[in-house]
Structure 1
């Protein structure tokens, strides 16, 4: 019987993300009401990582005392180190296989009625779904199950990590100024995705593949309350662990829906 490895974690210094910290990216994040709504942190771990360790590692991560002291989560309108040790962690692997932005070509084909030939997003009658106002076919494709555009991407494709980033940007924060054209959403999606994932070559074939393992997580405190992210019932409250087996690093990416909130 194999003895389960005991993983320990060490916080790393804040990384510089070229695409995310780019001036153009930051201007769009501000326009879309996303500034200060997401936080990225980096940790290293000690043990060799195998795919079958994924759920054990994620569970151990949120119960580790070092992580507990370092991890930022939302309290009210600010990010703080709450020092909460998880009593339970919901974990779901997220597909992460997309190597280029041709994945989004369907959105740019005018036959699919998301955009016109010019790249301008097709408007539609206003509809409120959850906390979001849908006034164009792009948001209809994301949220309106009754719309013809909703099935343009399969459920599996919509769960791809790159699509989750795209959806986060398009839906924005509470103070969101929407784009009239689609390209800025795609450009910023590409920059964030490229910053967060690692691509490698297969040893035998030299084919490229994404080596980052992505887990969507919901960590709960001793009362059963979500805290990472808070209120996971809102589709814009999302948290991911990105595991890089080669460098033995875990990156946390958490987004909380809301207006502007500064990072402490």
Structure 2
């Protein structure tokens, strides 16, 4: 599928595309939703409350853009290159930078993210496994430990952060490597791990509920007329290792994520029918 048109529209255009910031009113009009707050990741009350509780809101930037050319769904490099080189994107996403401050984006890495899951039954195995979440939804506790700099005091976070955890060594993997590549899993993992001042949940439901709301907000789903089944139409891209130079920076390169953390991320998802995209950026912040 081409991003910005239906499948079969032909090859992507050769010219560079431009991405223009959408206001909340523009976003609501583009989505057909008359309530801008209902379409905004950081203005939905329930989502915002939980992102704050999990210490993710203060590092989050969420913006919507309209783009003006066709891209093939798997052509992550062209899409992301044009995205990062657009003035509105630089101004909104690069740290403390107006569009006129950034001379160039020097380098980046980008890859498509698999997004085919359309049901939250994907997470049923957490309770079926028994040792991660109890049948009543309570998350099983474990001995306190630290992995990747994060405090772990329950089996869920242990499974999400420690690939060599004892539970999976004894009972087999809860999620396969292919399933961990799913966008829905990545969202869930980010939310459940949280930030440096995360107030953990004792039950699973809040993580699932917010994951579902975020997933629905970021993706466009349509019903395929050939199969009569719902399918994800959006392309999703994971962007990392972004380096840029400022005009007055003496030629030195800066990084979008100067400190390594599993809780740094930049995802961009597209609505190919409306030629709009949504960027969800989180820059991990230490508590000190």
In the TM superposition, what is the alpha-carbon distance from 1:232 to its structure 2 partner? 6.4
**In the alignment, which of 110, 122, 125 is matched to residue 91 of structure 1?**
110
- Structure-2 residue corresponding to 1:231: 258
- The 1:74/1:173 distance shift into structure 2, 3 A limit, reads farther
Matches for 1:68-217 after TM superposition, within 5 Å: 68=90, 70-74=91-95, 81=98, 83-84=101-102, 85-109=104-128, 111-150=129-168, 151-217=173-239
| Matching of residue 255 in structure 1 with residue 282 in structure 2 | yes
Q: Provide TM-score, normalisation by structure 1.
A: 0.86
- Structure-1 residue corresponding to 2:84: 62
| Contact persistence 1:112–1:149 (CA under 8 A) | no
- Alpha-carbon distance in 1 for matches of 2:18, 2:232: 25
In the TM superposition, what is the alpha-carbon distance from 1:113 to its structure 2 partner? 0.8
- Structure-1 residue corresponding to 2:8: none
- Alpha-carbon distance in 1 for matches of 2:111, 2:18: 21
- The 1:3/1:250 distance shift into structure 2, 3 A limit, reads closer
| Contact persistence 1:17–1:195 (CA under 8 A) | no
Structure 1: give runs of 5+ residues left out of the alignment.
none
- Structure-1 residue corresponding to 2:271: 244
CA displacement 1:5-55 (0-9 Å, x = unmatched): 321222111343527433222222221112222111111111123225432
Q: CA RMSD in A?
A: 2.3
In the TM superposition, what is the alpha-carbon distance from 1:175 to its structure 2 partner? 1.3
- The 1:159/1:149 distance shift into structure 2, 3 A limit, reads farther
Q: Provide TM-score, normalisation by structure 2.
A: 0.80
| Contact persistence 1:45–1:248 (CA under 8 A) | yes
- Alpha-carbon distance in 2 for matches of 1:11, 1:187: 28
| Contact persistence 1:157–1:163 (CA under 8 A) | yes
